Amino acid sequence: MCEPVTIIAGVGLAISAAGAVAAHQSAEASSSASASAGVSGQIANMRDRSATIAYQNQTYAQDIQYANDMLEWSKQEWDRQLVYHSEATKAVEKNTLAQVAQVMLRQVEEDMSTILQGTEVRKQGTVVRASIRARSGDRGVEGNSVDAILDDVTRQEGEVLTVQDMNRSATQRQLNREAIALDAQGDQNLANLSVKTFAPSTQIRTPGTTASVQQAAPVMGPSTAVLTANLAGSVGSAVSNYSVMSGQKVSDTVNDIGKWAGRQFIIPPGAGG
């Protein structure tokens, strides 16, 4: 039978060792839980980062599609304005040419009217002079008086023709000024044809940089050396307590433990069968 002192020392040693092992296992479980939580958080952050990148790429694709649609619309509008500007230019030039042609026709008409009026004046002058000569011949009148009358008729004829020519020149100058004014107005109308310009589209937003996911910080597990030290401390405490309770020296207790451990490995005679 074991002595009570030995039993008490053994129980104390078992309790101390069990406490050290339990503390080590608890610390190891806590470390494992912390590491698992860190990995779970890292996985969640990676999922959030992937979702953010996917959203940015989708938004970027929509911006590119919108920019392409705006570019296509601008091209269509520009082509439409080119057609409008071309047709409007033709209309303005045609209208200007018609107005200038109308003025030129008036010039021709004024010239013809002046010519016809001059012909009529000359014809009337010729008739009047012939009548004067006929009457003076019938009456036997001749000399300076008849010549003076004929010269007066010729003078009046010349004055009328001169006034007609002056009026014709003034009318031609006026019509020329009108033609120049119409041509200038046509140029102004061409200059006033507005063409809408398109400003460059807003620069497409590129996806922003997504921060990388930080790796979960390593979680330190419980130290085996600490467990070994605690167990060694438990053994030392047990040896010390046994020595105190048994009244022997620590060295004697260590020798007893050595002897006891040696006996555990001795095979009694006949034990092998």
Q: How confident is the model at residue 139 (pLDDT cuts 50, 70, 90)?
A: low
Place of tokens 């002046």: 114
Percent of the chain with pLDDT over 70: 60
Higher pLDDT, 86 or 142: 86
Task: Give 9-67 pLDDT, tens digit per residue.
Answer: 555 555 665 666 666 677 777 777 777 777 787 788 888 888 888 888 888 888 888 88
pLDDT of residue 5: 45
Q: How confident is the model at residue 1 (pLDDT cuts 50, 70, 90)?
A: very low
pLDDT of residue 30: 76
Task: Give 145-183 pLDDT, tens digit per residue.
Answer: 777 887 888 888 888 888 888 988 998 899 899 999 999
Q: Which two tokens stand for residue 51?
A: 């979702």
What CA–CA distances, in Å, run from 193 to 152, 177, 180, 197, 247? 62, 25, 20, 13, 123
Taking phi first (over 0 means left), then psi (-120 to 50 degrees means alpha), and beta for anything else, what does residue 221 get? Answer: beta
Do residues 103 and 175 lie in contact, with contact meaning Cβ atoms separated by under 8 Å? yes
pLDDT at 71 over 80: yes
**Maximum pairwise Cα distance, the chain:** 207
pLDDT of residue 200: 62
Average pLDDT over residues 85-102: 91
